[in-house]
Amino acid sequence: MYSQSVSSAPVTSMAQAKSQASTVFLAKVFNWMAIGLALTGITAFLTVNSQAMLHMIFGNKMVFYGLMFGELGMVIYLSARIQKISAQMATGLFLTYSVLNGVTLSAILLMYTMTSIAATFFVTAGMFGSMAVYGFVTKKDLSGMGSFMFMGLVGMIIASVVNIFLGSSMMSWMISGIGVIVFTGLTAYDVQKITQMGAMGIMNQGEAAIRKTAIMGALSLYLDFINLFLSLLQFMGNRR
């Protein structure tokens, strides 16, 4: 009995250390995500209150689509080169992406009433927070769900491209409905994945490695939040 209690002590201590490391790393990720969302919101507000910015961005389709493709290119580059670029560059790319996204998302402030945008934001925050908690506390492996949600995301992208030519409002609603499901599920999956990274010893690596991994985690959760918000806005938003 004595030997059992002694042998179990290191195991318990190790489990507590892993749990603490996961919590600390997850907090770093959420801090960066919050910074990204704050930058996006501030940039969108400043853009919509500047006639010069609005004319430059929305008065020329080439500029608007250039920003859109630029954002996409930044996400692809950051994801593909994260191991080779510096922590400072990774941070800069994430923050720059957040600002550019705020510029393009300023169109939402023009299209929808502020009341409906605020209401949708709080609903999004509630859903996102609930699924984040679930992803953090659940013992169930969510990798299968993550793969299924990723397939749904690919289907959404294909359907969205097709709908550019069809211009179907019904298809647009269906895509948004699928988006709510997909990004809700991806939130839980991404949080569990990030938590596991913390438990696997990422906090024992150098500061640069921790920062880069936290930035990638923040980007994943940032995209989950923004896309969940946009999907819900299709149902809850009141146009001006």
Q: What is the pLDDT of residues 107-146, one digit of tens each?
A: 888 889 999 999 999 999 999 999 999 999 999 999 999 8
Is the pLDDT at 223 greater than 90? The verdict is yes
Find out whether 114 and 230 touch, Cβ atoms under 8 Å.
no
Residue 136: which domain range?
Answer: 2-236
Q: Contacts by 166-173 with C-beta closer than 8 Å and gap 24+?
A: 172/234, 173/234, 173/235
Compute the distance between CA of residue 120 and CA of residue 117 in angstroms, rounded to an integer. Answer: 5
Q: Which of 106, 110, 100, 33 is nearest to 68 (CA)?
A: 100
Provide the domain count of the chain: 1
Residue 1: per-residue pLDDT: 44
Compute the distance between CA of residue 25 and CA of residue 150 in angstroms, rounded to an integer. Answer: 24
pLDDT digits (tens, 9 = 90+) for 33-52: 999 999 999 999 999 998 88
Compute the distance between CA of residue 234 and CA of residue 146 in angstroms, rounded to an integer. Answer: 24
Is the pLDDT at 3 greater than 50? The verdict is no
pLDDT digits (tens, 9 = 90+) for 193-220: 998 887 776 656 778 888 999 999 999 9
Q: What is the DSSP secondary-structure string of 125-191?
A: HHHHHHHHHHHHH--S--HHHHHHHHHHHHHHHHHHHHHHHH--HHHHHHHHHHHHHHHHHHHHHHH
Find out whether 109 and 44 touch, Cβ atoms under 8 Å.
yes
Residue 119: per-residue pLDDT: 94
Q: Which of 240, 222, 226, 234 is nearest to 30 (CA)?
A: 222
240 vs 201: which has the higher pLDDT = 240
Residue 15: per-residue pLDDT: 63
Structure token pair of residue 218? 């923040």
Average pLDDT over residues 163-169: 81
Burial class (CB in 10 A: 0-12, 13-18, 19+), 12: exposed
Structure token pair of residue 188? 């839980």
* DSSP SS3 for 219: helix
The mean pLDDT value of the chain amounts to: 87
Query: Which residues does 60 contact at the CB level (< 8 Å), separation at least 6?
Result: none
Is the pLDDT at 4 greater than 80? The verdict is no
Compute the distance between CA of residue 229 and CA of residue 112 in angstroms, rounded to an integer. Answer: 13
Residue 107: per-residue pLDDT: 87
